Amino acid sequence: MTVLVVIAKECLPGKVKTRLHPPLTLEQAALLAAASLDDTLAAVASLPATRRVLAFDGDVPPAAAAGWEILPQVSGGLDERLAAIFDSFDEPTVLIGMDTPQVTAALLAPVFATDITNVHTDAWLGLADDGGFWALAMKKPNGDLIRGVPMSQDDTGSRQLARLTDAGLRVGQLAPLMDVDTIDDAHIVAAVAPHGLFAQALAEALHPTPAGRHAADPAVAEKLDAAPVSKESRS
């Protein structure tokens, strides 16, 4: 049995992808984040996990997560929140974020192909181009192997790897991916996965059409339609 966890936050203006503002409006950044999450959930749908869990910070989960277990995130820093997720499960656990919409099931296949319970591998780590990591899996989940690792730094991934290996774990490494943090990242990732919702949402943000507000998660688009339109959105 293997638990697959996607960690995400509710995609509301001013709460997600704020580093994309400017050049995007906060509303456009929220729709881009929603599309990124939808692409991520779709990409991992075919993986042979026995449980699928959305570790969620927010009130309204995305429609794309229908049928997933919802695990509310705890308060605290990112290391504390990640640690709490791994402490929530006894089964082998695979966790990925929502900031790599170009992810594919094939990129995570090594974890499942060899079986995370395989005696030759205790953990898997997918490093991100910005120095962090986009995926972490443990055969025996232990939050203490994450708690205290400095997050959102250019050496976070290497420190997390050292934490795992120093504990005696045999770590397999997944292919590195780019997290979407800046507008330049967004352009690169959209070019890598041009047919996804993320690429569509970015194109819509740069060249708006009336129908484009509903390209990402319908629940987010509905909230945006009900919200006042900012001056930036009118310009």
pLDDT 10s digits, 206-229? 988 765 554 455 555 554 454 443
Please tell me the total number of residues recorded for the chain in this structure: 235
pLDDT at 201: 97
d(Cα 200, Cα 216) in Å, to the nearest integer? 9
pLDDT at 231: 37
Counting Cα atoms < 13 Å in the Cβ hemisphere of 121 gives: 20
pLDDT at 217: 53
d(Cα 170, Cα 97) in Å, to the nearest integer? 22
Which whole number is the average pLDDT over 23-49? 97
The residues pairing with 171 across neighbouring beta strands, listed in sequence order, are: 123
Residue range(s) defining the domain that contains residue 193: 3-230
- Flag whether 190 is in a domain: yes
Query: CA-based angle 161:1:90, to the nearest 5?
Result: 60
- Flag whether 188 is in a domain: yes
Condensed to tens digits (0 to 9), the pLDDT of residues 99-113 reads 999 999 999 999 987
d(Cα 152, Cα 139) in Å, to the nearest integer? 25
138 in Cβ contact with 186 (< 8 Å):
no
Could you tell me which residue, 209 or 159, shows the higher pLDDT? 159
pLDDT at 166: 98
Number of domains in the chain: 1
**Residue 48 sits in a domain of what CATH number?**
3.90.550.10
d(Cα 139, Cα 123) in Å, to the nearest integer? 6
- Flag whether 24 is in a domain: yes
- Flag whether 224 is in a domain: yes
